[in-house]
Amino acid sequence: MTTPLTDLSPDQLAERLTALRAEYEELQAKGLKLDLTRGKPGADQLDLSEGLLRLPTGHQDAAGTDVRNYGGLDGLPELREIFADLLGLDASAIVVGGNSSLTMMYQVVTWMLLKGGPDSPRPWSQEPVVKFVCPVPGYDRHFTMLAELGIEMVTVPMNDDGPDVQAVRALVADDPAVKGLWLVPTYANPTGAVCSAEVAAELIAMPTAAPDFRILWDNAYAVHHLTDTETKSADALGLAAASGHPNRPIVFASTSKITFAGAGVAALAASAENRAWYLQRLGYASIGPDKINQLRHVEFFGDADGVRAHMRKHRDLIAPKFEAVDDALESRLGGLGIATWSKPTGGYFVNLDVLDGTASRVIQLAKEAGIALTPAGSAFPHGNDPHDRNIRLAPTFPALADVEAAMAGVALCAELAAAEKLAE
Ligand code: PMP
């Protein structure tokens, strides 16, 4: 039986600290240079899509449109069908765009600020204050986008079945300044949580003081399963239509972590009114998307089952890396009572919570041993983790042996920082 670190006597703790410091010096002496910072696909994953580089062979989509020319603002119909099947939505709701879903999110928020949506009393920028509800820990780029645009962020806990609904309800019910909520519904970045159908239904139906409240439903990891259980996302648009708030959710997805990160295709799906609103604004900014890249993706996959088969190849490459993370944490920290971590069944991250007040120290220790981790607090608005305990681990990019080496180091740093803290 492992004794929890918190149960050690002062003498035992001092002894342990000495041993951990010696071990840490050995780690430093290895001169490692490892990086677990960003959720990027590994080179072997990118190789799975190498065939794209020799496509398309044709010039026309199914309707006979020449993809080499301008036009088709809402994207190739065949690709809209594929996204519709994958996301469980109707193709008529979908716009397939350029290479980045984050850009589509940025467009939506910016245009809500500048113009307002179909149901806005006035553009958001004319409101004295605009606030968003942010489940934490969450995706750092969602938060930096809002900070850049001057939108205030109020946090709620991200639970295993989605955002804490009672906390969200309390924030949105009476305050018309609260205009939106971020949500990564499936295999959330970074916790891996999957929003249940019940939580989704409540978020979509709940009363909000703002008539133009939006849920930015960022389904970046909809098909990124790590096990045989291919969890289905809740049907945001169907629930919205049924609840009388058709315009509330706007769904986003992309193939950034399916084909090439930054050179895939992104999609937005929304009510007919929101879709027309988006396309109207987009029409002032673009004469049409890169349909050659869209056709290349259609030819490469054929249909949604082609995407699903492709994702199983990704899973085979990355699931062992997630197992390596869990093994390293369990073998060193299991039973010590100083850390908890997620065991995601999909997505790109493992969420590690270390002893309160030690995350920055763990990250510093790791850095000084040549292991780069995401900066402390990055999963919180303005980088502020109130408990200084959260660390986002991204194991997909390094080779498996490097993940093993890095994680053994991270686990040591977590134990050392906890022992230092308890000895204070
Ligand atoms: N949303 C989430 C939750 C993500 O984790 C990422 C990628 N790290 C993105 C969006 C970015 O997607 P894209 O490449 O389509 O802009």
Can you say how many angstroms the Cα of residue 21 is from the centroid of all Cα atoms in its chain? 35
Among protein residues, the one with the nearest Cα to ligand 1's atom 11 is 102
Is the pTM value of this prediction over 0.95? yes
Atom of ligand 1 nearest to the CA of 103: 16
Ligand 1, pocket-test mutation among 139, 158, 233, 393, most atoms within 8 A of CB: 139
Q: Which CATH superfamily is domain 5-45+308-423 in?
A: Aspartate Aminotransferase, domain 1 (3.90.1150.10)
Residue 377 pLDDT class (50, 70, 90 cuts): very high
The burial class, CB within 10 Å (0-12 / 13-18 / 19+), for 322 is: buried
For residue 87, give both structure tokens: 């996301």
Ligand 1, pocket-test mutation among 189, 233, 251, most atoms within 8 A of CB: 189
The stretches of 127-182 forming alpha helices (DSSP H) are 140-148, 165-172
Q: Does domain 61-302 have CATH number 3.40.228.10?
A: no
Angle at 280 between CA 279 and CA 281, to 5 degrees: 90
Atom of ligand 1 nearest to the CA of 256: 14
The 10s digit of each residue's pLDDT in 249-293 is: 999 999 999 999 999 999 999 999 999 999 999 999 999 999 999
Amino acid symbol at 340: T
Unique residue bearing structure tokens 């159908």: 197
Report ipTM (2 d.p.).
Answer: 0.99
Say what the pLDDT of residue 248 is. 98
Say what the pLDDT of residue 110 is. 98
Distance 226 CA to ligand 1 centre (A): 18
Mean pLDDT of 119-139: 98
In the chain, domain spans: 5-45+308-423, 61-302
